[in-house]
Structure 1
Amino acid sequence: MKLPIFIADAFTATAFRGNPAAVCLLENTLDEDTHQHIAREMNLSETAFIRKLQPTDNFTEKNTNSTLTFVTLSGELKARKAEDGIVLDFPLYPTFPQDLHEVGDLIKAAIGDTLVQDIRYSPHTKNLLVRLSDSYDRSFLETLKVNTEPLPQIEKTGRVKGLILTLKGEPGGQAAPYDFYSRYFAPWVGVAEDPVTGSTHTILGPYWSEELGKKEMRAFQCSRRGGELDISLRADGRVDMKGGAAIVLEGTLTA
């Protein structure tokens, strides 16, 4: 069995940045074991399998109004092509104030004496959002040494599955103006740091929208690879996330 396969870097227009994902095109359904074998072989945090639902579907469709629907572990994810990138359609999730005393040990272990300005919790996604002091800048967040190793032992109730560090942006600052920055860590599920995380912006989007009084924002995730997202909050309670994509590998998988 030979299958077309690609590696695409998402949320970037530049190769070797953003979030790498494998995309495998299928003519027929594969069993779950084969899905898992391919995903392990690609050794990336995301592997997508695209299959034609109708014989007339065209993998090379170039209509910018067409929408692809992906079935993920988190539910359906819809994507459509825009002139300057790919737009993902996500729900929005609220966050609630979190008492420092309940998570102080976890935060201390992760970032030491770094000044914290706000702490929020998302029960829908089980993510803890920690906003760093406005006195810090992007370079501070980028170079901050985050100790994720002890976190699963400190918080082992299952209440927290991910840690978001975020910082107010610097409009007119570095190369491009960003409204906010972030980094994401999920050692509870085996991810020390994720390069770029669309799902965390379902939390960051509404949080920073309220803080900044804006519905349209530009975000940068400050991982080593880095990634850019355009965030647009919609009136129907969902959010559009737009980012670029660069194909860095194209080939055939023999299975």
Structure 2
Amino acid sequence: MPQFSIYTVDAFARKPFQGNQAAIVPVPSAYSIPDHIMQTLAAEMNIAETSFFTPVQCEGAEEFQKASRFALRWFTPTVEAKLCGHATLAAAHVLFNELQNQNNTLHFDTLSGVLTVSINSKGKLTMKLPMDKPEPVEHNDNFKEIVTGVLGRYSTSTEILLSPVLRYLVIQDVSCTEEELAALVPNITNQVIEAGRRERVDLVMVTTKGIDRDFKSRVFAPWCGIEEDPVTGSAHTVLAPFWKEKLGKSYFIAQQCSKRCGELEVDIIDAIHVAISGNAVVVIRGELFLDLE
């Protein structure tokens, strides 16, 4: 039975038990793990994302040290994800710090195209991700149902926007304070779930202007099997252009104020890309035994 290394990493964190968890499985190029086994393992791990990466165009005993390009896939407990920032950051952290990769920049082939992650002299990681600017939507019954379930109320002044690629829903109510955002307890009923499915929503985020940070947010993804995602890199590819129009700037210090909490540096670097920076820490190192039949 093949044996693989597995790591649990807290991304967007400087110490354990903060930020967002990801399980990372390096897969040597000599092996191929079937999709259903990757999905089953993600359900077994039961954290936001379980990720698998394999060296591309590099083989041999030192392939994880020498390769600069990897195929990368992400799985929630229930579905394969189209984009996941924190698990990409976690995968790069494992390559740089656990597998002693010799490069300063790594390239990942994903469902969202080629993503790059670089490391600086202080160990901080920076991802380059595609931007997904959200657009206002009609306040129909489906979106009213979602807003009411997540925020606890609906107002015609509430801003509701949807990103076209990832299908991430942005909610901003100007009366929602930082304290209210942190204390928010959504009521995700079956009606809310069905309303989101009708609009093909993948996750919903509530955001507000910050006092000690540029902006803050919470992210909920019941459609992907995640009640609340603690720190969501991909969400900031949507929040960055939203807040650029509000604040008139392109560089932000952002905080996702879940119970685990996490801080991100977000920089709109051109018309179609966002750079997101942060730290990560390995919490668990283990061995994984998989029957690949």
Residue 202 of structure 2 corresponds to residue 164 of structure 1? no
Q: CA 1:117/1:128 → structure 2, altered by over 3 Å: closer, same or farther?
A: same
- Does the aligned pair in 2 maintain the 1:120–1:130 contact within 8 Å? yes
Identity within the alignment, %: 32
Deviations 1:74-133 (A, max 9, x none): 444322223342211111112222233452232123222376642222222222211121
Residue 13 of structure 2 corresponds to residue 12 of structure 1? yes
- Does the aligned pair in 2 maintain the 1:149–1:187 contact within 8 Å? no
The RMSD of aligned alpha carbons is 2.1
In structure 2, C-alpha distance between the alignment counterparts of 1:118 and 1:184, rounded to whole Å: 16
SS class of match (1:159): coil
Residue 256 of structure 2 corresponds to residue 221 of structure 1? yes
SS class of match (1:100): coil
Q: How does 1:112-123 map to 2 (within 5 A)?
A: 112-113=152-153, 117-123=158-164
Q: Between Structure 1 and Structure 2, which shows a larger proportion of helix residues?
A: 2
Q: What's 1:128 paired with?
A: 169
Q: How does 1:166-185 map to 2 (within 5 A)?
A: 166-170=207-211, 177-185=212-220
Q: Between Structure 1 and Structure 2, which shows a larger proportion of strand residues?
A: 1
Deviations 1:195-237 (A, max 9, x none): 1111111110111012111111011111121111100101252
In structure 1, C-alpha distance between the alignment counterparts of 2:123 and 2:177, rounded to whole Å: 28
In structure 2, C-alpha distance between the alignment counterparts of 1:156 and 1:49, rounded to whole Å: 27
**Which TM-score applies when normalising by structure 2?**
0.76
SS class of match (1:146): coil
In structure 2, C-alpha distance between the alignment counterparts of 1:220 and 1:227, rounded to whole Å: 6
Q: What's 1:81 paired with?
A: 119
- Structure 1 runs (4+) deviating above 6 angstroms are none
Which amino acid in the other structure matches residue 227 of structure 1?
A: G
Give the length in aligned residue pairs.
246
- Does the aligned pair in 2 maintain the 1:70–1:78 contact within 8 Å? no
In structure 1, C-alpha distance between the alignment counterparts of 2:10 and 2:106, rounded to whole Å: 19
Tell me whether 14-23 or 29-38 shows the greater mean CA deviation: 29-38
Unpaired runs of at least 5, structure 1: 171-176
- Does the aligned pair in 1 maintain the 2:127–2:277 contact within 8 Å? yes
**Which TM-score applies when normalising by structure 1?**
0.87
Q: What's 1:200 paired with?
A: 235
In structure 1, C-alpha distance between the alignment counterparts of 2:274 and 2:253, rounded to whole Å: 13
